[in-house]
Structure 1
Amino acid sequence: MTMEIRVLDPAEWDDWYGTLELAFGGVPESPEERQAWQELTRYDRSIGVWDGERCVGTAGAFTFRLSVPGGAIVPAAGVTMVSVAATHRRRGILTSMMRRQLDDIRAWGEPLAVLTASEPEIYGRFGYGVGAYATRATIDTTRVRLSVPDGTDDVVLRQVDPAKSTAEREAVYARRVTARPGMLVREPGWERVPLLDPEGERGGASPRQCVVAERDGEVVGYALFAIKPEWTPAGADGSVLLKDLEALDPVAEAALWRFLCSIDLTSSVRIHSRPVDDGWQHLVSDIRRCAPTQRDSLHVRLVDLAAALEARRYQAPVDVVLEVADAFCPWNEGRWRLTGDGKGAMCVRTADPADLSLSVRELGAAYLGGTSLVSLAAAGRVRELRGAALVEASVAFGSPVAPWLPHGF
């Protein structure tokens, strides 16, 4: 039968989501998670591929607003729930969904698409580049000591019910969004995501716990975490599993890290995802005993190249002509003159000679300031056609703060 791609009908959600679950191993999600994602699903922005009465492909797009260098908040489509049934691979289903989705995102007037990838190699051919990375680490708190700044003892820590502290935590998070590229404005409903804590996925750890940091009666930071108790013949060997941590200043942040590293009956703090330039790395006495590793996090795709490049700010004046290749979204192809600085930018088509040659994938990687054009050029991904253009553009595209995605979607 001929396969059909169409917008998701709410009545089809169970079958559609079941296809997604099966593609990711077939382990059903908890009712708590399933309900949360069903309520967050944008049906008008979700598509399915149907082979007769069977759903064999899924893809969705949340409506996000993303922080970019300079502090602006830019509309972005949060690509999500992408899957193809194992019985229908190698038939062009994924390509068809990506084609339909990017055309839709362009029609919606959103200059960016972003996603997290189950397999990083999948999305490069559709123009996505890795725009933000995250650090994982395990701090050995039996061997590592923290050196905290003056004033840390003045911060008051208070253990609270995670659900009852939502308003306080979200107020802190909202003030942090524009300070770091790659962070998402949490729209209504998304405040529940950090609290998703199915018992079947705890792996022996406690229910989620929360500590808030206060100064002069104001909440200035928080940490969401769990404790995984473990015992050896030598005694307690538990772990602190960090879920989320935000603070409004370095002193409050240091107070939270010191607390996490000193909880009784634990010997480590496991960090799942933190910015690559996170301050805790300079508080610890021995970074080797923390075993930090880095992995890709947010993948970025410029859907409307000119609008995307004009939306962000540049940390140095830039005037460069870009020769851009974009076979999948040909409306972006050609030469573009980008001029900008810390106050604003313009990007227009031009017939002037190109200074740099690259694909839209490299622009996506460099867009949030976490990957330098010089680094991409070292891999042969960017070609310099005018002397000094590469360094000038690379400095301008940079960000003093590393981009970071605070939670998945």
Structure 2
Amino acid sequence: MTTELRVLRPSEWDDWYRKLILAFGGVDESPEERELWDSLTEHERSIGVWDGEECVGTAGAFSFRLSVPGGAVVPAAGVTMVSVAATHRRRGVLTSMMRRQLDDVRKWGEPLAVLTASEPAIYGRFGYGAATLQLRAEIDTARVRLAVPEGTDDIRLRQVKPTDAGAECEAVYARLVAGRPGMLARRPGWERLPVLDAPADREGASPLQCVLAERGGEVVGYTLFRIKPSWDTAGPNGTVILQDLQALDPAGCAALWRFLFGIDLTSKLRMLNRPVDDPWQHLVSDIRRCNVRLRDSLHVRLVELGAALEARTYRTPVDVVMDVEDDFCPWNAGRWRLTGDAKGASCKRTEDDADLTLSVRELGAAYLGGISLSALAGAGRVREVRAGAVAEASGAFASDVAPWLPHGF
């Protein structure tokens, strides 16, 4: 097979994107969604593999900034739109794109690459580790009650058109980014994604709705949701489908949850992507009737290991030497001494004896503080050389707030 891998030309986007859609089943997106991704694609950071005149592989990389433990917002390549034509599988197309992409990310000076995986087994061999989880739930709101904190009744709720509330919602979101690892600082244009509302994508539910939470005239939270009506012989049993909920304080948060629980003609609240430490879990009367489950979300790859580990802070003091395996990005392989605390960190190459041995994949999984090195050691994926080193490093890497990716890309 003779193929050419090259940077995407703007004139090639339609064909490139069509082949991406075909690789994911061939079901066309709505014109609104297609136009949005066309506008957000960074052509100079996107690549394709071509077999003659035919595009047989696609991959892109958004220029993101990702929040990390300690509050820094770090440059990260948002790997996206990865596909290989069914006719060209198992011929090295994906590996060639991952090789070129990570070399480019390093050249761009971005210490991290991140992605959400259609199939999580694919990307581990390229050094990505699953670093965040998303909580899913379907709550029986006819039987589950909320106990809200003091001050909830001081919150005023106001329903508005989602497109009219963009500035207020984005301001709330922006204030929350540094406080939770895994969130993306949204660049201009990305504010359109949360309010994308193509009729063809509603699947029988209402148009997107928005409610703002206000205190003293200031917006302190918002929720975006749909309602899917349903009736049976006993009466109405519609479903509230939550798209997003963000709030600056417990009272604003509780007021929005109480609103969602109490919408007329509904008896279920469905959510597909919430943080694993979401506060509503401690407000409900019966967590068993909330049908909570988890799945992987953001996968993290350390592209420049030293710079990445220095970009975040550490919950407790740490001084540990790690012997790191990284076959795909060999510039990361070898021994590194990480020293740091809540104020900052240093990560430099060393000839000292290792305290831990692990691969870059485990470091990616633990990087945002949601997956513990102790758990990975229990699975045999981190090996302790110096007694006590796993506990020391695991405690240092942990985050008080669970990392979370609020939306895909």
Q: What is the CA-CA distance between 1:199 and the residue it aligns to?
A: 1.2
- Equivalent residue for 2:385? 385
Q: What is the CA-CA distance between 1:223 and the residue it aligns to?
A: 0.1
CA distance in 2, matches of 1:228, 1:12: 39
Does residue 1:328 correspond to 2:328, yes or no?
A: yes
- Equivalent residue for 1:66? 66
Which residue identity is paired with 2:206? Answer: S
CA distance in 1, matches of 2:180, 2:250: 14
CA distance in 1, matches of 2:197, 2:96: 35
Does residue 1:155 correspond to 2:136, yes or no?
A: no
- Equivalent residue for 1:343? 343
Q: What is the CA-CA distance between 1:197 and the residue it aligns to?
A: 1.7
How many residues get paired?
409
Q: For residues 322-364 of structure 1, give each alpha carbon's deviation from its aligned partner in whole angstroms, at most 9, with x where no partner exists.
A: 0000000000000000000000100000000000000000000
Q: How does 1:295-334 map to 2 (within 5 A)?
A: 295-334=295-334
CA distance in 2, matches of 1:254, 1:10: 46
- Equivalent residue for 2:106? 106
CA distance in 2, matches of 1:115, 1:41: 15
CA distance in 1, matches of 2:5, 2:28: 25
- Equivalent residue for 1:133? 133
Does residue 1:268 correspond to 2:264, yes or no?
A: no
Structure 1 SS opposite 2:177: helix
Q: What is the CA-CA distance between 1:69 and the residue it aligns to?
A: 0.3
CA distance in 1, matches of 2:115, 2:180: 18
Q: What is the CA-CA distance between 1:273 and the residue it aligns to?
A: 0.4
CA distance in 2, matches of 1:315, 1:89: 44
- Equivalent residue for 2:203? 203
- Equivalent residue for 1:97? 97
Can you give the 5+ residue segments of structure 1 that lack an aligned partner in the other structure? Answer: none
Can you give the 5+ residue segments of structure 2 that lack an aligned partner in the other structure? Answer: none
Q: For residues 187-241 of structure 1, give each alpha carbon's deviation from its aligned partner in whole angstroms, at most 9, with x where no partner exists.
A: 0000000011221121100000000000000000000000000010110010000
Q: How does 1:367-382 map to 2 (within 5 A)?
A: 367-382=367-382
- Equivalent residue for 1:87? 87
Q: For residues 43-94 of structure 1, give each alpha carbon's deviation from its aligned partner in whole angstroms, at most 9, with x where no partner exists.
A: 0000000000000000000000000001011000000000000011010100
CA distance in 1, matches of 2:255, 2:287: 19
CA distance in 1, matches of 2:63, 2:287: 38
- Equivalent residue for 1:251? 251
- Equivalent residue for 1:277? 277
Runs of 4+ in 1 over 6 A off after TM superposition: none
Which residue identity is paired with 1:278? Answer: D
Q: Give the TM-score, by structure 2 length.
A: 1.00
Q: What is the CA-CA distance between 1:103 and the residue it aligns to?
A: 0.2
Structure 2 SS opposite 1:163: helix
CA distance in 1, matches of 2:209, 2:268: 16
- Equivalent residue for 1:121? 121
Which residue identity is paired with 2:394? Answer: S
Which residue identity is paired with 1:189? Answer: G
Q: What is the CA-CA distance between 1:2 and the residue it aligns to?
A: 1.1
Which residue identity is paired with 2:355? Answer: D
Does residue 1:234 correspond to 2:227, yes or no?
A: no
Structure 2 SS opposite 1:369: coil
Which residue identity is paired with 2:76? Answer: A
- Equivalent residue for 2:10? 10
Structure 1 SS opposite 2:221: strand
- Equivalent residue for 2:56? 56
Q: Aligned-residue CA RMSD in angstroms?
A: 0.5
Which residue identity is paired with 1:283? Answer: L
Which residue identity is paired with 1:12? Answer: E
Q: What is the CA-CA distance between 1:124 and the residue it aligns to?
A: 0.3
- Equivalent residue for 1:33? 33
Q: For residues 79-127 of structure 1, give each alpha carbon's deviation from its aligned partner in whole angstroms, at most 9, with x where no partner exists.
A: 0000000011010100000000000000000000000000000000000
